[in-house]
Amino acid sequence: MKTATTKRHRLLITDDNATVRNLLDYHSRQRGFDPLLASSGKEAKELISDDIDVVILDLRMPEGDGMEFLQFLAEKFPDIPAVILSSKEEVEAAVNAMKAGAVDYLTKPIDLDEVFTVLSHAIKHGELKKENRALKETLGFSRPTSDFIGQSNTTKEILSSIQRVANLDSTVLLLGESGVGKGLVARTIHYSGPFADQPFVTVSCPTLPRDLLESELFGHEKGAFTGAVQKRVGKIEMAEGGTLFLDEIGDLPLELQPKLLNVLQDREFFRVGSNKAITAKVRVIAATNIDLEEKVRRREFREDLFYRLNVILLNVPPLRERPEDIDSLVRHFLDQLSQKQGLLIKLDKNAAHKIRAYPWPGNVRQLENAIERAAAFCTNGIICSADLPREIVKDTTAEEEYPLSGRNHLAGIPLRELEKSALIQTLRACGGNKAETARQLQITEKSVYNKLKRYGPIQSFTD
């Protein structure tokens, strides 16, 4: 049986605290890294080489601090990403380190899960920089290097649009359903253009509580509100010189929209609790899966902000409109899992047929999750239909249970039956997730519950 070789990434750990060094050394080995240890900036300079994949270093060290080492990296090893370790009191210095070239920063005491998540992202960042640099050297211009996979004409058009947009600093608005890859398109735009060496910072508007979102975006001064025990630098400031990606911008509260408009219009903002204007040297890419124009009509979104965001509009179509991409995406996900598990993973013909036939209402994200889940349950590296999530396998029987979609016309079918069939099949396709079902049907989550109550027990639609 063929096996795939899993690369062990080389990690340079630089910290004058022996406890931190040893802790990171042990856990990095457990997670598949080959670590090298340095206790000072001088020692780190002696150990660094082209085969290092990522560096994690303390800001305060003897014989050359973190900022000095970052400058050394930028001059001698510009493609090696670095992550900064700092204390909570050194957040502003850490942000300055990001401006000097660090990919991200972590505050002590460290959270190990967060550390290795950030390191993984930093390695990806470094790989993209190397690819971009190689392409520029060999071709003389920048081309997108991305995991936005596909062979369809639609995907080729998207990649062509990304190439044209990447070298501009205009605001971009990405439209598309949940899970189509809007975040991936945003990252590809960033890393394909002149901002590739600068920060790419994401703010997910719906995941943050309203009372924290303002502080997250704009930062705050010490004492600005109860609990503000120290100054906080916001995501806009962190993204200086690079890209700020505002995911699901349609969920931005109305009271914050004038402040964002000020960033786009006047390129400045204020931290919460401060009257000192800060210049916002950032490119903004926003994304949404809802109809912003409809929100404008309902006075739930400012019209002037909409037009400021809608400078360059890119539509990212759902997977069902580009089914030719499914095979390429599946191969990509299987290759990734094969490398991770050290075992060649394949699909049998029946499973491949099920995957091609399924409509994928959750788009690329749902497809990736389904492949990963199936790979975890399969035997001897062969995914069969029994390993696939139940909603994919059951979808082939949906026509027998709810045959409306098999009709070539809808004349004479009671509206109640049409609604019931659409609700049931969408709910099953979303794995019983009521919020996602509401998004797919473009109704409120409350409406989903009301309709389920009207049509019968909820369990009967999700088992």
Q: Is the predicted pLDDT of residue 55 greater than 50, yes or no? A: yes
Q: Is the predicted pLDDT of residue 148 greater than 60, yes or no? A: yes
Non-local (6+) Cβ contacts of 25 within 8 A are 13, 35, 37
Q: Is the predicted pLDDT of residue 255 greater than 50, yes or no? A: yes
pLDDT digits (tens, 9 = 90+) for 3-39: 444 568 999 999 888 899 999 999 999 999 999 999 8
Residue range 255-267: average pLDDT?
91
Look at 97-111, 136-150, 310-324, 434-448 and tell me which has the smallest mean pLDDT.
136-150
Give me the pLDDT at residue 372, please.
92
Would you give the distance in Å from CA 275 to the centre of its chain? 33
313 forms bridges with which residues in the sheet? 173
Predicted confidence band at 410 (pLDDT cuts at 50, 70, 90)?
low
Predicted confidence band at 237 (pLDDT cuts at 50, 70, 90)?
confident
Give the chain's length. 463
Q: Phi first, then psi: give them for residue 244, nearest 5 degrees.
A: -105, 120
Q: Is the predicted pLDDT of residue 416 greater than 50, yes or no? A: yes
The single-letter DSSP state of residue 208 is S
Q: The domain 10-128 belongs to what CATH superfamily? A: Response regulator (3.40.50.2300)
Give me the pLDDT at residue 147, please.
59
Predicted confidence band at 70 (pLDDT cuts at 50, 70, 90)?
confident
For residue 375, the SS3 value is: helix
Looking at per-residue confidence, does 233 or 53 come out higher? 53
Q: Which own/partner contact pairs does 251-260 have at CB distance under 8 Å and 24+ positions apart?
A: 251/205, 251/206, 252/205, 252/213, 252/301, 253/210, 253/213, 254/300, 254/301, 254/302, 256/213, 256/214, 256/217, 257/301, 257/302, 257/305, 258/302, 258/305, 259/214, 259/217, 259/218, 260/217, 260/305
Predicted confidence band at 398 (pLDDT cuts at 50, 70, 90)?
very low
Predicted confidence band at 143 (pLDDT cuts at 50, 70, 90)?
very low
Q: What is the DSSP string of 102-132?
A: -SEEEESSPPHHHHHHHHHHHHHHHHHHHHH
pLDDT digits (tens, 9 = 90+) for 153-203: 888 899 889 989 998 889 999 999 999 999 999 999 998 888 888 889 888
164 vs 379: CA distance, rounded Å: 45
Q: Which pTM value belongs to this model?
A: 0.57
Q: Is the predicted pLDDT of residue 370 greater than 90, yes or no? A: yes
Radius of gyration of the chain (CA): 25
The pair of structure tokens assigned to 426 is: 């969408």
Residue range 71-77: average pLDDT?
84
372 vs 30: CA distance, rounded Å: 22
For residue 455, the SS3 value is: helix
Parallel, antiparallel or unpaired: strands 172-175 and 200-204: unpaired
Give me the pLDDT at residue 431, please.
66
Instruction: Decide if 315 contacts 162 (C-beta within 8 A).
Output: no
Non-local (6+) Cβ contacts of 220 within 8 A are 228, 231, 232, 234, 271, 272, 273, 274
| Residue that has been written with the tokens 């660090």 in this structure | 102
Q: Is the predicted pLDDT of residue 265 greater than 80, yes or no? A: yes
Q: Is the predicted pLDDT of residue 136 greater than 60, yes or no? A: no
46 vs 40: CA distance, rounded Å: 10
Give me the pLDDT at residue 408, please.
45
Predicted confidence band at 132 (pLDDT cuts at 50, 70, 90)?
low
What CATH architecture does domain 407-463 belong to? Orthogonal Bundle (1.10)
**What CATH number is given for 321-388 in this structure?**
1.10.8.60
Residue range 313-333: average pLDDT?
92
168 vs 148: CA distance, rounded Å: 20
Computed over every residue of the chain, the mean pLDDT equals 82
Residue range 255-262: average pLDDT?
92
Terminal Cα-to-Cα distance of the chain (whole angstroms): 37
Give me the pLDDT at residue 247, please.
92
Give me the pLDDT at residue 88, please.
67
Give me the pLDDT at residue 289, please.
92
Instruction: Work out the number of other CB atoms within 10 angstroms of the CB of residue 139.
Output: 9
Instruction: Decide if 162 contacts 189 (C-beta within 8 A).
Output: yes
Looking at per-residue confidence, does 395 or 76 come out higher? 76
Predicted confidence band at 133 (pLDDT cuts at 50, 70, 90)?
low
Give me the pLDDT at residue 357, please.
87
Instruction: Decide if 448 contacts 438 (C-beta within 8 A).
Output: yes
What CA–CA distances, in Å, run from 108 to 14, 59, 93?
14, 11, 14
Give me the pLDDT at residue 310, please.
93
CATH topology identical between 321-388 and 407-463: no
149 vs 319: CA distance, rounded Å: 11
What CATH architecture does domain 149-317 belong to? 3-Layer(aba) Sandwich (3.40)
Q: What is the DSSP string of 223-250?
A: TSSTT--S-B--HHHHTTTSEEEEETGG
Give me the pLDDT at residue 413, please.
65
172 vs 283: CA distance, rounded Å: 9
What CA–CA distances, in Å, run from 207 to 129, 183, 247, 330?
29, 15, 10, 29
Predicted confidence band at 91 (pLDDT cuts at 50, 70, 90)?
low
Domain ranges of the chain: 10-128, 149-317, 321-388, 407-463
What per-residue string of b and e applies to 75-87 under the rule 16 or more CB within 10 Å gives b? eebebbbbbbbbe
Non-local (6+) Cβ contacts of 114 within 8 A are 106
46 vs 38: CA distance, rounded Å: 9
pLDDT digits (tens, 9 = 90+) for 441-461: 888 877 887 777 776 544 444
268 vs 266: CA distance, rounded Å: 6
Look at 12-21, 61-70, 112-121, 359-368 and tell me which has the smallest mean pLDDT.
61-70
107 vs 402: CA distance, rounded Å: 54
Percent residues over pLDDT 90 in the chain:
30
Closest CA to 85 of 63, 61, 101, 68: 61
Interior angle at CA 75, CA 70 and CA 79, nearest 5: 75
